[in-house]
């Protein structure tokens, strides 16, 4: 039976279970958001990530501020028979983590979304649309499928892009490293002294502030040092290098 939770503004979220197999095994939990007039404002979303056997008996509860939490029965989560799993969403229908280790999955997303796992070592997975991942733990990991949009990582720790993720932006002022993958990556430094390595692909590297080291690697790369005393190395390929100020 579908479950409904109404927000203070009259909009509401419906959660239900279905055996369409989108989560890869048995029954899964889905939700959909509606405006106060009853018109859907977002497509159906798969709430749970892949879990063996069936996810059942959902509940959805509105939270102060417009967010909500979806709960359901899942096998083996507590080590003995069925337990309770849950996923918190922001008012913009974005999966939100906390200080624990989370697995956040936005498998049916077809528009730009922001996934923030919180402070724990999280596994985050986007959908077919563009996704922005907020990374703040060296144990965070990202799963992206080929053709899953143009994705961006905004990281406050040193980070290496996972397969099928295009862009990496370092945030804050710490001295951090950014490493690309086989795609044509965009790597942007922060206010600290950064080491940016493009790897394979025709990459664009920008050091921003700080005394940075930029290595283009293979491919026809574009390197811009920005402010500070920077060291730029194009590597293989026909590269464009701009030392910037400093």
**Model-level pTM?**
0.58
Question: What pLDDT shows up at residue 176?
Answer: 95
Give me the mean pLDDT over the 208-215 stretch: 89
List the alpha helices (DSSP H) in the chain.
none
Residue 107 has pLDDT above 70, yes or no: no
pLDDT band with cut points at 50, 70 and 90 for residue 21: low
Region 203-231 average pLDDT = 87
pLDDT at 191 over 90: no
Rounded Cα distance between 166 and 216, Å, is: 15
Q: Determine what percent of the chain is predicted with pLDDT higher than 90.
A: 20
Residue-wise pLDDT for 5-17, tens only, equals 888 888 898 988 8
Q: Given this model, what pLDDT does residue 7 score? A: 84
User: How high is the pLDDT of residue 111?
Assistant: 46
Average pLDDT in the 108-114 region?
Answer: 54
pLDDT for residue 162 is more than 90: yes
| 94 Cβ contact partners less than 8 Å away, ≥ 6 residues apart | 106, 113, 114, 115, 116
C-alpha distances out from residue 214 to 100, 183, 185, 189, Å: 34, 17, 13, 10
Q: Are 159 and 180 in contact (CB under 8 A)?
A: no
Report whether pLDDT(102) > 90.
no
Listed ranges 33-42, 176-185, 200-209; the one with the highest mean pLDDT: 176-185
Residue 22: left if φ>0, alpha if ψ -120 to 50, beta else—which one?
alpha
Q: What angle do CA 193, 198, 201 make, to 5 degrees?
A: 165
Q: Is the pLDDT of residue 50 over 80?
A: no
More confident residue, 221 or 107: 221
Which pLDDT band holds residue 241 (cuts at 50, 70, 90)? Answer: confident
Of 197 and 246, more confident:
197
Residue whose C-alpha is closest to residue 53's, from 83, 32, 87: 83
In this model, does residue 165 exceed pLDDT 90? Answer: yes
Instruction: Please check whether residue 240 is in contact with residue 224, taking contact to mean a CB–CB distance below 8 angstroms.
Output: no
- Asked if residue 13 lies in contact with residue 62, where contact means CB atoms within 8 angstroms, the answer is yes
The pLDDT, as a whole number, for residue 195 is: 94
137, pLDDT greater than 80: yes
Greatest extent of the chain over all pairs of C-alpha atoms, in Å: 65
Is the pLDDT at 82 greater than 90, yes or no?
no
Which of the four pLDDT bands, split at 50, 70 and 90, describes residue 22?
Answer: low
């Amino acid at each position: 039976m579908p479950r409904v939770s109404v927000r203070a503004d009259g909009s509401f979220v419906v959660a239900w279970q279905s055996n369409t197999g989108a989560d890869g095994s048995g029954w899964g939990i889905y939700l959909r958001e509606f405006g106060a007039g009853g018109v859907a404002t977002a497509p159906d979303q798969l709430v749970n990530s892949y879990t063996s056997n069936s996810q059942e008996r959902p509940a959805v509860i509105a939270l102060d501020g417009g967010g909500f939490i979806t709960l359901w029965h899942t096998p083996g989560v507590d080590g003995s028979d069925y337990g309770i799993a849950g996923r918190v969403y922001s008012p913009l229908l974005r999966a939100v983590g906390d200080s624990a280790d989370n697995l956040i999955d936005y498998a049916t997303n077809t528009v730009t979304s922001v996934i923030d796992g919180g402070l724990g070592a999280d596994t985050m997975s986007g959908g077919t649309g563009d996704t922005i991942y907020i990374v703040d733990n060296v144990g965070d990991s990202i799963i992206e499928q080929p053709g899953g949009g143009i994705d961006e990582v905004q990281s406050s720790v040193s980070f290496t892009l996972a397969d099928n993720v295009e862009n990496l932006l370092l945030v804050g002022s710490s001295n951090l490293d950014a490493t690309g993958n086989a795609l044509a990556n965009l790597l942007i430094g922060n206010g600290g002294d950064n080491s940016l390595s493009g790897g394979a692909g025709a990459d664009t590297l920008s050091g921003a502030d700080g005394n940075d080291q930029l290595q283009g690697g293979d491919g026809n790369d574009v390197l811009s040092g920005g402010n500070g005393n920077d060291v730029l190395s194009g590597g293989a390929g026909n590269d464009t290098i701009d030392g910037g100020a400093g």
